Amino acid sequence: MLADVALGHPDGKVYILGGGVEILKPPALPFVVPNISFVAKIEFTPAETGRPRVIEVVPLDSDARQLGPPARVDITPQQNPEYPGLPVSVQIVLNIRDLPIERPQSLAFAVLVDGHEVASVPLHIIAPRAPA
């Protein structure tokens, strides 16, 4: 999910304002998005816990070119000792500042676990309306 602002809190909750951003209609292009937050929750089954994992978020333009370096998290999900049979979640919150937008297009934030894409979050940039 994309949002105006998000905070991953140590209590395990994610606090989100303006969640569900999918379309941006800038007043003019080029444009700089001052702040946008990427939020993902990745669930691991008990069988998947206890081994190192690499989670990456790769920002891509509509031509599948990287917009910047991937964000990378190295983690070893552990079973919850109180509830060992339940899945374990890992939450990722990335606050992106000053994202440059040059042209109308559909961007994607690809989520990879151990090099395999498990999700993609779109951001559609709509061309400004021509003056009447």
> What is the CATH number for 36?
2.60.40.2560
What is the number of domains present in the chain? 1
Closest C-alpha among 32, 14, 42 to residue 111: 42
In this predicted structure, what is the pLDDT of residue 41?
94
In this predicted structure, what is the pLDDT of residue 68?
87
- CA 11 – CA 8 distance, rounded (Å): 8
- CA 132 – CA 125 distance, rounded (Å): 21
Residue 49 in domain:
yes
The model's confidence at residue 60, banded by pLDDT at 50, 70 and 90, is very high
Torsion angle of C-alpha atoms 26, 30, 32, 36, degrees rounded to 10: 50
Residue 111 in domain:
yes
Which residue range forms the structural domain that includes residue 56? 2-125
In this predicted structure, what is the pLDDT of residue 119?
97
pTM for this entry: 0.90
Residue 131 in domain:
no
